[in-house]
Amino acid sequence: MAAGWQQLAVAPLFFLLLLLLLSGSCHATKPNMLNVHLVPHTHDDVGWLKTVDQYFYGDRNDIQHAGVQYILDSVVDQLLKNPDRRFIYVETAFFYRWWKRQSSGEQQTVKQLVNEGRLEFVNGGWCMSDEATTHYSAVVDQMTMGLRFLNETFGPCGRPRVAWHIDPFGHAREHASMFAQMGYDGFFFGRLDYQDRTRRMLAQEQELLWRANIDPLTFALDKNKKNPPGILPNGYNPPEGFCWDQSCDDPPIRDDPDLEDYNVDDVVMRFLAIATAYKTNHIIMTMGSDFQYENANLWYKNLDKLIRYVNARQGNGSRVNVVYSTPSCYLQELHRANLTWALKTDDFFPYADSAHDFWTGYFTSRPALKRYERVSNSHLQTCNQLEVLGGPVSRNGPFGEGNSQTMKKAMAVAQHHDAVSGTEKQHVANDYARRLADGWRHCQVLVSNSLAALTGSSAKRIYCDNLNISVCPLTESSKKFSVSVYNPLARPVTWPVRLPVNGTAYTVSDAKGQPVDCQVSNRGFAINELVFQVQAPPLGFSTYSVSLLQDGPPPAAATKHQVMCTGQSISLTQNFYWYNASDGNNSESDQPSGAYIFRPNSSTPFVISQRNSVVQEVRQWFAPWVSQVVRLYSDSRALELEWTVGPLPIDDSLGKEVITRLDTSIKTCEMFYTDSNGREVLQRKKDFRPTWNLKQSEPIAGNYYPINSRAFIKDDKDQLTVVTDRSQGGGSIHNGSLEIMLHRRLLYDDVRGVAEPLNETSAIFPEGLVVRGRLLLSLERPPAAADAHRPLAQEAVLQPLLTFVDGGLSPDTRLEVSGRGFSGLQAALPPAVHLLTLTQWDGDSVLLRLEHQFQSRESRVNSQPVTVNLQKLFSTLEVIGVSEMNLSANQWKDEMIRFAWTPQTGMHARTHKHTHTHTPVYLTGLLRLNCLVCTDQ
C-alpha cells in the first residue's frame, strides 16, 4: 500500500499527461495500409423504455426486444470460439448482476478473457451517466461504484482505459474533467451538433484535445464524424449495410457457392468503398448498437468472414486491413501516430441533430423526478457519513439492519442518461423513483441506528418524507415532539425549518432548552405551518423541541418574512410564461416538442398573468396553476422563490413549457453563464458557439443550456445569480433577462424512441402533475458572487436531514449537552474546501474526497490553494493511514499513468506538454480510521 499522506495542498488546477502503457492484447496493424478497427459493442441502457431489471432479464420484450443476461451469456460463448474476437462492455450495473449469477468456473473463464484483452471494459461506471442533468457528486459516486466492482473482480486488467459516452445528448466539460482525473486516456462520444460535426469532418478535427477545465487537457474522440456531410450519421451504429445483429435486416455474408445469392464480392466491394482514410491511417467502426449481441453468433460469424474476405484482397493489391479491435487499441494507434490535435475548451451543449431539433427539452423534462433525484443524493451523502460516524452499529443496531448500498445503487442507476434526464417512459420513471424510495428506507434504518449510537438515545425516529407537500402526520398531530437536524456539509449551516402543523401556537427550544423564535402561518391549504431557523454544525446535528401551546384560530398573514429587494441598484421584474410546444405541424420542420426536444411553436411565450410583479408580495397567484411564495429569511442574503406549477391545463390542446423569466437592467451583451454538472461555470453567448459559425435555426431552443445548480447574468457592476434545486434548462433570450424552464406538459412524442408524450399524471395528480421547487436569487456583486453562490448551491445540494422523535426530548443527549450539538469534524473546513465524499469503503477503511470548490480566478479569497490537516479532521475518529487514489478510487494515485497528447500549435490556449504537474482539484483517499469514542461497541 502506498505511503500515507497527511498534509495536502488542494488547488483548483490540475493537469495530467503521463507516459504510454502499451496494451499487449491489441491485434497488430499494418503501417502501410488503412487499418479498420472493428469494435464489437452493445449499448445497454440502464433503463429507458423498460426498467433496468426488465432489460436485464429480457422481460417485457413486447415493449422492446432486449435481454442483457443473454447478451453476456452469448458474447462470452462467442469470444471463446475464436481468440481473435474482441468485445467491449460498458455498463457495470448489468455486468455485476450477471456476474453474480455465474458459477465459479464460468467466472474463471471470463477472467481469462479479460486478462487476455478479449473482453475489455470501457467506461465501466455503474451506468453511462447523463451529462446535462446530473450533479457531479452523483456521477463520481456511480463511476466509483462501477469501477470498484471491476477493480475488485478483475484487478488492473479490468480497469477501463477509455471513457465511452456514445449516447448522452450533448457533452459536458465537467465530465471530461472528471474522466481525466479518473485516469482515462481518452473519451469517445457520439452526439454533437450537426453543424459542428460537419465542420469538424471537413477540417479533419474528428479527433480533438479537450481542455476539460481551466487547465487540464483531455483527449476526446468524436467517433461519429466519419460520415460525409449530408449523409445521416450512424450514431454508434455500424456502417450502413453491415449490421448483422438479430435486430438488423442487412444481408449476411453468403459465402456458400452452392447456394443462391453468393455475395462475398459484393460485401467486400461495399466495405472497401466506405473504408476511406481520415487523419491517421486508422479508422474505427462501431459494430453494434442498442442491446445488440443477444445472439452474438450472428455478428461474429459474419465479422469473421468480413475480415477474412477483405484481408484476402490484400493479395490482389488492396490496401485495406481489417482487425478486431477495441477503443483502447484504436487510441493506442492514434497515440503512436504522434500528431498534433485540435483543441477544445468549451462544451458540446446544446445538442441539435438537425435545424429544428434541439435536445434542450430534457434539461427540464420530469421536474419532479429531477428534484427527487437531487434530494436523494443529499440523503445518500448523509447516510454515508452517518455510517462512518456511527460505526458498525449503524448497519446492525437497535432499529435492525440498515445499509447504504441499496441507496447507492438506486442513485447510480438514476444517473443514467435516460433516468434523471427525464427521457424514459413513465413506468420506468416510476421505477427509478421507487428504487430511490426503497434505498432511502434502508438508509433510514442506518441513520436511526447511527444517531442512536451518537446520541445514546434509542427513541424511535420518524422521517417526514412528504414535507415537500406539507404533509407530516407526526407534526400535524403531536403536541410535543423534537426535531433533529443533521448537516452533511463540512461547515455549519442555518436552515429554515417549515413544518405542517394543526395548532396555531408552539414553543421551540434547542437542546439546551433555550427558546428559538418561531412562527405559525396559514399555509393556504388546510393546515398551518410552523417556521423556525435551525443551526447545525459541520457533519453534525442539533436537536430542537417543539411543544403545542394552544389550539386556536389561524394566524394572520405572516409579517416577519418581509420582502427585501432594496439595497440593490438593479431593477428586477419576474413573471411566468409558457411556450406553446410545437406539435410538429409547421412549414419549417415536423419536429414536435417532446421529452428530449424543446421546440416552441413561437418564440414569444404566453404570459401567464399580466400582473408583472415586482417582487413585493409574499404570496403570488399568477393563474390557478401557477403560484409562488417569496421569502427572504432574516440572515440570508438570498431571496427564495418557491414556485408551484401545475396541473398544466391542456384542454386547449396546446402543449405547454412553463418558464419563469427574470428581467433586469443588467447589461448582459447577450452573455450569460451556466454551470457544468454543478461544478464549473461556462460562459454562454446568444446565437453563438465558440468553435464554429452557428447558423441559428431555433431562436429559443437553440439558446437553451443545462442549468444544473446555478446560472447568472452580469455586467461590470451587477450580477443576478439563480441557484436551482434541481437540473433545469434555461437561457438568456433578451438582454438583461434570464429565463428558466420549470415544467413541461406535452401532447406529442418527439420521435426519439420513447414513444410516449411527456404528459405526467398519476393517481395523486390525475389532472396533471403539480411540481413545486425553489429558486434562490442572489444579487451579490461580481467580485464576491462566487463566495455567495458556491456555498449557497452546496446547501441546496446537500440539505440538512430532519428526523423527528415524538414526545419530550430525551434527557440524555450525551453529545449535545456541550451546547454546540454533535459534529463529526474537529472544525469546519475552510470555505474553499468541500467534503464531497465520506463513506465506508470496507471494514477497515473509509473513502474520503475533498474538493476545492472554487474555480480558478472566480474569488479573490477562495480561488487559492488551501491546506487541510487530515490528522485533525475528525472529532471522533483517528486517522491512522491514508492512501491517495485517483478520483474514481480504482487506482493508486502514484500508479496513474496516462497518454500524453500534443495540441495543435497556434491554438488560443496555452499548450501543455509533459512539463506541468498540478495537484488535483479533488483529493481522493482511502483512510484507515480508529474510532475514539466507540470503544463501548
Contact mark string toward its own copies, 418..457, x via CB under 8 A: -------------x--------------------------
Pick the binder of its own copies from 260, 635, 651, 652 (CB under 8 A).
260
Helices 367-390 & 136-154, crossing angle to 10 degrees? Answer: 60
904 sits near its own copies (criterion: CB under 8 A): no
Residue from 462, 467, 465, 464 nearest 448 by CA: 462
902 sits near its own copies (criterion: CB under 8 A): no
405 sits near its own copies (criterion: CB under 8 A): no
What is the torsion angle, in degrees rounded to the nearest 10, for the CA atoms of residue 100, residue 102, residue 104 and residue 106?
-140
What does the H/E/C string look like for 495-512? EEEEEEECCCEEEEEECC
**Between residues 69 and 573, which has the closer beta carbon with respect to its own copies?**
69
Radius of gyration of the chain (CA): 28
Shortest distance (Å) from residue 267 CB to its own copies: 12
In sequence order, the 6+-apart residues with CB closer than 8 A to the CB of 367 are 422, 726, 728, 742, 743, 744, 771, 773
**Between residues 221 and 445, which has the closer beta carbon with respect to its own copies?**
445
From residue 60, give the alpha-carbon distance in Å to each of 64, 441, 751. Answer: 7, 28, 21
Binding-site size, its own copies (CB under 8 A): 36
Q: Which stretch binds its own copies (CB under 8 A): 66-74, 204-212, 319-327, 603-611?
A: 66-74
Shortest distance (Å) from residue 434 CB to its own copies: 8
What beta strand segments (E) does 585-709 contain?
A: 606-607, 613-614, 619-623, 626-632, 638-645, 656-664, 671-675, 681-685, 705-707
The secondary element (H helix, E strand) that includes residue 173 is: helix 173-181
**Between residues 196 and 294, which has the closer beta carbon with respect to its own copies?**
294
Pick the binder of its own copies from 102, 115, 246, 396 (CB under 8 A).
246
Residue 377 phi, psi dihedral angles, 5° rounding = -60, -45
Distance, C-alpha 82 to centroid of its chain:
38
Q: Which residue has the cell 473482480?
A: 153
**Between residues 252 and 554, which has the closer beta carbon with respect to its own copies?**
252
244, 250 in Cβ contact below 8 A? yes
Residue from 408, 401, 441, 451 nearest 824 by CA: 451
Amino acid at 806: D
**Between residues 297 and 568, which has the closer beta carbon with respect to its own copies?**
297
Cell numbers standing for residue 817: 449537552
Pick the binder of its own copies from 14, 48, 70, 486 (CB under 8 A).
70
Distance, C-alpha 600 to centroid of its chain:
26
Shortest distance (Å) from residue 258 CB to its own copies: 8
Q: Encode 855-866: b = buried (16+ Cβ within 10 Å), e = exposed.
A: bbebbeebbeeb
Catalytic residue, candidates 167, 196, 663, 749: 167
Active-site annotation holds for 167: yes
Shortest distance (Å) from residue 167 CB to its own copies: 23
**Between residues 434 and 479, which has the closer beta carbon with respect to its own copies?**
434
Shortest distance (Å) from residue 368 CB to its own copies: 21
Shortest distance (Å) from residue 62 CB to its own copies: 4
Pick the binder of its own copies from 30, 65, 270, 781 (CB under 8 A).
65
Q: Which of residues 101-130 bind its own copies (CB under 8 A)?
A: 101
Residue from 439, 373, 382, 433 nearest 708 by CA: 373
**Between residues 261 and 716, which has the closer beta carbon with respect to its own copies?**
261
Pick the binder of its own copies from 261, 651, 716, 842 (CB under 8 A).
261
Determine the Cα–Cα distance for residues 596 and 751; give it in Å rounded to an integer.
9
**Between residues 76 and 666, which has the closer beta carbon with respect to its own copies?**
76
**Between residues 55 and 330, which has the closer beta carbon with respect to its own copies?**
55
Contact mark string toward its own copies, 25..64, x via CB under 8 A: --------------------------x-xx-xxxxxxx--
**Between residues 437 and 747, which has the closer beta carbon with respect to its own copies?**
437
Q: Which of residues 600-639 bind its own copies (CB under 8 A)?
A: none
Pick the binder of its own copies from 228, 252, 400, 808 (CB under 8 A).
252
259 sits near its own copies (criterion: CB under 8 A): yes
The per-residue DSSP string of 306-335 comes to HHHHHHHGGGGT--EEEEE--HHHHHHHHH
**Between residues 301 and 336, which has the closer beta carbon with respect to its own copies?**
301
Shortest distance (Å) from residue 45 CB to its own copies: 16
Q: Which stretch binds its own copies (CB under 8 A): 248-256, 578-586, 679-687, 920-928?
A: 248-256
The secondary element (H helix, E strand) that includes residue 435 is: helix 426-455
**Between residues 56 and 804, which has the closer beta carbon with respect to its own copies?**
56
- Residue 600 DSSP class: B
Pick the binder of its own copies from 12, 40, 47, 67 (CB under 8 A).
67
**Between residues 65 and 279, which has the closer beta carbon with respect to its own copies?**
65
What is the torsion angle, in degrees rounded to the nearest 10, for the CA atoms of residue 60, residue 63, residue 65 and residue 68?
-50
Shortest distance (Å) from residue 84 CB to its own copies: 16
Burial of 776 (0-12, 13-18, 19+ CB in 10 A): buried
In sequence order, the 6+-apart residues with CB closer than 8 A to the CB of 519 are 530, 531, 532, 555, 558, 560
Pick the binder of its own copies from 9, 21, 77, 551 (CB under 8 A).
77
Contact mark string toward its own copies, 285..324, x via CB under 8 A: ---------xx-xx--x-----------------------
Shortest distance (Å) from residue 126 CB to its own copies: 15
- Residue 159 DSSP class: S
69 sits near its own copies (criterion: CB under 8 A): yes
What is the torsion angle, in degrees rounded to the nearest 10, for the CA atoms of residue 601, residue 603, residue 607 and residue 608?
40
Pick the binder of its own copies from 19, 28, 249, 317 (CB under 8 A).
249
Shortest distance (Å) from residue 491 CB to its own copies: 38
Shortest distance (Å) from residue 56 CB to its own copies: 7
73 sits near its own copies (criterion: CB under 8 A): yes
Amino acid at 585: N
Contact mark string toward its own copies, 196..235, x via CB under 8 A: ----------------------------------------
777, 638 in Cβ contact below 8 A? yes
The per-residue DSSP string of 706-765 comes to EESSEEEEE-SS-EEEEEESS-EEEE--STTEEEEEEEEE-SS--SSS--S------SS-
Residue 99 phi, psi dihedral angles, 5° rounding = -55, -45
Shortest distance (Å) from residue 68 CB to its own copies: 11
Strand bridging mode 626-632 / 771-778: unpaired
Shortest distance (Å) from residue 117 CB to its own copies: 23
Residue from 680, 676, 675 nearest 921 by CA: 680
82 sits near its own copies (criterion: CB under 8 A): no
Determine the Cα–Cα distance for residues 88 and 437; give it in Å rounded to an integer.
33
Distance, C-alpha 348 to centroid of its chain:
15
Reduce the DSSP state of residue 152 to 3 states and report it: helix
The site for its own copies (CB under 8 A) is made up of 51, 53-54, 56-62, 65, 67, 69-70, 73-74, 77, 97, 101, 246, 248-249, 251-252, 254, 256, 258-261, 294-295, 297-298, 301, 431
Active site residues per annotation? 167
